[in-house]
A = this chain, B = another copy of it.
Amino acid sequence: MNTDTETLYEELQNVLGKDQLSTNITVREQHGRDESYHEPSNPDLVVFPSCAEDVRAVVKTAAAHEVPVIPFGLGTSLEGHVIPYERGITIDFSKMNRIVEVREKDFLVTVQPGVTRSQLNKELKKHGLFFSVDPGADATLGGMAATNASGTTSVKYGVMRDQVRDLEVVTPDGSIIHTGNLAQKSSSGYHLNSLFVGSEGTLGCITELTLRVYGIPEHIVAARASFQELDDAVEAVVSILQAGVPIARVELLDETSMVQANRFSETDYHEKPTLFLEFHGNEAGLAQDVEFTKEIVADHGCESVAFETDQGARNRLWDARHNLAYAYIHGNKGKKMMVTDVCVPISELSGAIRDARKRLDTFGLTGGILGHVGDGNYHVLLMIDMENPREVEKAAQFNEQIVEYALERRGTCTGEHGVGVGKQKYQELEHGDSLRVMERIKEALDPKGIFNPNKLIKQKEAGQ
């Protein structure tokens, strides 16, 4: 510990319990990395608040010393959000993991930021409810709100931002504010909910969330449809959307991804480009939707389609999808994961995926394509040998080309993973003068620049 850290440690000891504070190197290392290829960097200290008042005390101490604070959920970020490159204090929310209230009649739930989505869904099930956002990883809800996470069900239920009704936030000046209310809609004041969702810890620390939940659908049918060509699978999705079928999930896996999924999840699905689909609704309506979808995929040369109505088979299917990132990691020991995350207008999706596939072959990189194609959001998952500078360079170039392709078509560089440090270099190109507006907001709300500095927005000088 250097002198500054020692001073900080002593001051924090006055406001937190002994077990809420650590400078242990193992603990610091756990908080110095995420699940991606981004280089690790440790915080000076890790704190474990138990309530908003604890967070406020930490923020006030940090502000007095102009030391960075970095909120941390479970570290499942793929863009380096939680890595403290400017050092400082990591605020770990694992002790704030309580489900505060389920308001069944209002379809709302209030949780602390350390609650994970699987923990929440386990509780909600008792009430016949579920939380819709499903990014694959079992992330914390605080982290999901901070990055505006989404996933397989967003095509029907929307993204994290659509579910947030209210946030309790500790702001850089140490205020504890509420960004919303419990009403279903409001035209009162600037919409702070949406500003803080996706702000990646740069404007405040989320200490409580009130989220919209849904009744578990009366009927659910899942399906796998495999195609000879990747392009046919993508075109089938566009047609399903065009036909107005209210699909709840529609995920694409290319051949490589199907091989990885089978190997890791011990399934025996066709190793061909495949759509994983799900339909939610009442029995009669759903039967009509399913029939219609069968016709559409057949028109697009679908080779085989299998429907799964029992929960066991459905769970196996979605587990295989959710474990895909881990399947790639497991199948490529010693390599690190880099995932592209662009989102394009649906009319540009086939072209974009065709282009990505071609570039992947040209670069000769190891990886596969998968994604939430109903939203126009797809990932190329690359496994990289970080010791091979040539491969690292190629992957970076590939990522850049994918982003440029999407931005030229008025898409976005990140559909759901967020900016963090990985997508920072594209912000100027994507936002132009809008970035000046974002910078002014950051300066106005965090004038000392201590909230997750140099994430999302590149600051002129750290601590200024």
Contact = CB atoms under 8 A, between A and B. Distances in A.
Q: Which of A185, A191, A432: most chain B Cβ within 10 A?
A: A185
Contacts of A149: 187
20 contacts: A106-B345, A161-B191, A161-B194, A176-B433, A179-B434, A181-B410, A181-B412, A183-B406, A183-B412, A184-B345, A185-B416, A186-B343, A187-B416, A188-B412, A188-B418, A189-B435, A189-B438, A194-B194, A440-B444, A441-B444
Interface in A131-175: 147-150, 154, 159, 161-162, 171, 175
A194 B244 CA distance: 26
Given A171-B433, A189-B419, 10 more contacts: A175-B433, A183-B345, A183-B377, A183-B410, A185-B375, A185-B377, A187-B416, A188-B414, A188-B419, A441-B444
Contacts of A176: 433
Nearest to A377: B185
Interface string A439-457: 0110111000000000011
A63 B284 CA distance: 60
Contacts of A418: 187-188
A218 interface: yes
Interface in A213-267: 215, 217-218, 238, 241-242, 244
Given A433-B176, A444-B444, A187 B194 contact: no
A398 to B, nearest CB: 19
A426 B437 CA distance: 28
Contacts of A431: 178, 188-189
Contact of A185 (B106, B159, B189): B159
A-B CB proximity, top 8 nearest: A285-B285, A194-B194, A444-B444, A186-B412, A183-B343, A284-B284, A105-B347, A182-B410
A330 interface: no
A283 interface: yes
B106 A346 contact: yes
Interface stretch (A24-32, A195-203, A386-394): A195-203
